Amino acid sequence: MNWILENLDLIGTLALEHLRQSLWAIAAGFLISLPLGWAAWRYRSLRGLVVTGTGLLYTIPSLALLMILPVVTGMSAISEANLIVSLTVYALAIMVRCVVDGLDSVDPQTRSAATAMGYGPGRRFAAVELPLAGPVILAGLRVTAVSTISLATVGILVGVTNLGYLFTNGLQRRIIPEVLAGVLAVALIALLIDLLLVLAGRWLMPWTTARPQRARRARNSAPEAVGTR
């Protein structure tokens, strides 16, 4: 416990590094998965290839990916960019499938209704399909966020400093509280980001949290409903 209190500065600095690296990867994974997922959803022939292909990325061991990527991209293996790109690859593995599933979850009748109202394809995607796919995409994004934040610690093995440092350093020096502090900090960051995503989801998709019984109560016994407000 003493170790943690004495090293709050270090933990804080590492946590910020960690958060920054993770957020880049989560954001990149999310943004890239949207057009990829859309294409896989829209063009049947692409679907198997894209969904299975990105899904398979997850089977690559993370340490191996951190070593292979520099060969492909020409980046330095110990650079932060290398870690962020690797994490983005894993984020894509989860997110692309979620975007496809999300778009699949939109009721065809709703889609057809939007077309009949006079939405062109682009506007329909932005205003109808994407928002309605939102809950499924958000669920995927939450998994991605938590998994990215936890996976990022592997960066320390190729020399990218973040909360993973507390694991390697703590193990080498046999300071167990240091390792525990790392676990705790990663978990706290994951929970925090998850909470922020849930709140953002509620704010962006208010219809998902609007309760259905309000209408019924107000209709059946209007005076009572007025009284309770």
Partner 1 sequence: MIEFDAVSKSYPGGTTAVSDFSLEVPAHRTTVFVGSSGCGKTTLLRMVNRMVDPSAGSIRIDGRDISAGSPVQLRRSIGYVMQNAGLLPHFTVAENIATVPRLKGTSRGKARQRAVELMTTVGLDSSLADRYPHQLSGGQQQRVGVARALAPEPNILLMDEPFGAVDPIVRTELQQELLRLQRELGKTIIFVTHDIDEAFLLGDQVVILSEQAQKLQVGTPSRIIESPANDFVSSFIGADRGQRALSIKQTPTGTVLVDSQGRTQGRLVDAPDLDRA
H/E run at residue 78: none
Does residue 119 bind partner 1 (CB under 8 A)? yes
Residue 132 interacting with partner 1 (CB under 8 A): yes
- DSSP secondary-structure letter at 106? S
71 versus 116: smaller Cβ distance to partner 1: 116
74 counts as binding partner 1 under rule CB under 8 A: no
Asked if 118 interacts with partner 1 (CB under 8 A), we say: yes
Note whether 223 binds partner 1 by CB under 8 A: no
Check binding of 207 to partner 1 (CB under 8 A). Answer: yes
Three-state secondary structure call for residue 104: helix
CB of 216 to partner 1, least distance (A): 8
The reply to whether 215 sits near partner 1 by the rule CB under 8 A is yes
Q: Measured in whole angstroms, how far is the alpha carbon of residue 193 from the centre of its chain? A: 9
**Amino acid at residue number 166:** L
Q: Cα separation of 223 and 74, whole Å?
A: 71
Establish if 113 lies at the interface with partner 1 (CB under 8 A).
yes
* Site membership for partner 1, residue 120 (CB under 8 A): yes
The C-alpha atoms of residue 198 and residue 203 are separated, in whole angstroms, by 9
d(CA 149, CA 4): 21
Neighbours of 199 (CB within 10 A): 10
Structural contact between residues 160 and 102, judged by C-beta atoms closer than 8 angstroms: no
Nearest distance, CB of residue 209 and partner 1, angstroms:
10
Q: What phi-psi label fits residue 159: left (phi over 0), alpha (psi between -120 and 50 degrees) or beta?
A: left
Ranges within 14-73 binding partner 1 (CB under 8 A): none
Q: Is 112 in the site for partner 1 (CB under 8 A)?
A: yes
Among 15, 25, 85, 114, binds partner 1 (CB under 8 A): 114
Binding segment for partner 1 (CB under 8 A), chosen from 56-64, 173-181, 193-201, 214-222, is 214-222
CB of 116 to partner 1, least distance (A): 5
Beta carbon nearer to partner 1, 73 or 110:
110
DSSP code, position 79: S
What is the 3-state secondary structure of 16-66? HHHHHHHHHHHHHHHHHHHHHHHHHHHCHHHHHHHHHHHHHHCCCCHHHHH
Least distance (Å) from partner 1 to the CB of residue 200?
Answer: 16
Residues that bind partner 1 (CB under 8 A): 107, 109-110, 112-120, 123, 128, 131-132, 205, 207, 210-212, 214-216, 218-219
